[in-house]
């Protein structure tokens, strides 16, 4: 069974640009989560999507947004990139909301 996949692996953007990160959950999983791992800040919850709807978001500004598609894949958009957005962005999925989240390999975003 394929795990959670994310693309691209690496992404380099300039301050002020927009970044789009993509995630495909494990087959059968309907909940998708996004987390940010920035240097010195640890792993922080960003967004949770379930059945196509945003269900919860962490303490991040509105320029972090996303969506979930009918096939349960998801994308994370970061607008007006700032240097401190440089981080590893991890996507996870679960069969039911909450327990047993499985993580993808991550997208490393570098903002210059």
Partner 1 sequence: GIQVEQSPPDLILQEGANSTLRCNFSDSVNNLQWFHQNPWGQLINLFYIPSGTKQNGRLSATTVATERYSLLYISSSQTTDSGVYFCAVGAQGGSEKLVFGKGMKLTVNP
Residues that bind partner 1 in the complex, under the rule CB under 8 A: 31, 33, 35, 37, 42-45, 48, 50, 55-56, 58, 88, 90, 92, 94, 97-106, 108
Least CB distance from residue 59 to partner 1, whole Å? Answer: 9
Report the length, in residues, of the chain: 112
Dihedral sign of CA atoms 94, 96, 75, 73 in order: positive
Q: Please, which residue, 8 or 16, has the CB nearer to partner 1?
A: 8
Least CB distance from residue 1 to partner 1, whole Å? Answer: 13
Least CB distance from residue 95 to partner 1, whole Å? Answer: 11
Q: How far is CA 11 from CA 4, 85, 89, 109, in A?
A: 18, 12, 11, 5
Q: For residue 25, give the DSSP letter.
A: P
* Cβ–Cβ < 8 Å for 11, 108: yes
Q: Please, which residue, 80 or 85, has the CB nearer to partner 1?
A: 85
Least CB distance from residue 19 to partner 1, whole Å? Answer: 17
50: its two tokens: 């379930």
Q: Please, which residue, 10 or 62, has the CB nearer to partner 1?
A: 10
Compute the distance between CA of residue 49 and CA of residue 64 in angstroms, rounded to an integer.
14
């Amino acid at each position: 069974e394929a795990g959670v996949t994310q693309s691209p692996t690496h992404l380099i953007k300039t301050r002020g640009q927009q970044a789009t990160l993509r995630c495909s959950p494990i087959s059968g999983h309907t909940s998708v989560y996004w987390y940010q791992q920035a240097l010195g800040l640890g792993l922080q919850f960003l967004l949770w999507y379930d059945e196509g709807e945003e269900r919860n978001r962490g303490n991040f500004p509105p320029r972090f947004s996303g969506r979930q598609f009918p096939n349960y894949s998801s994308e994370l958009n970061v607008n007006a990139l700032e240097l401190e957005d440089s981080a590893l962005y991890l996507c996870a999925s679960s069969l039911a909301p909450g327990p047993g989240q499985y993580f993808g390999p991550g997208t490393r975003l570098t903002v210059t």
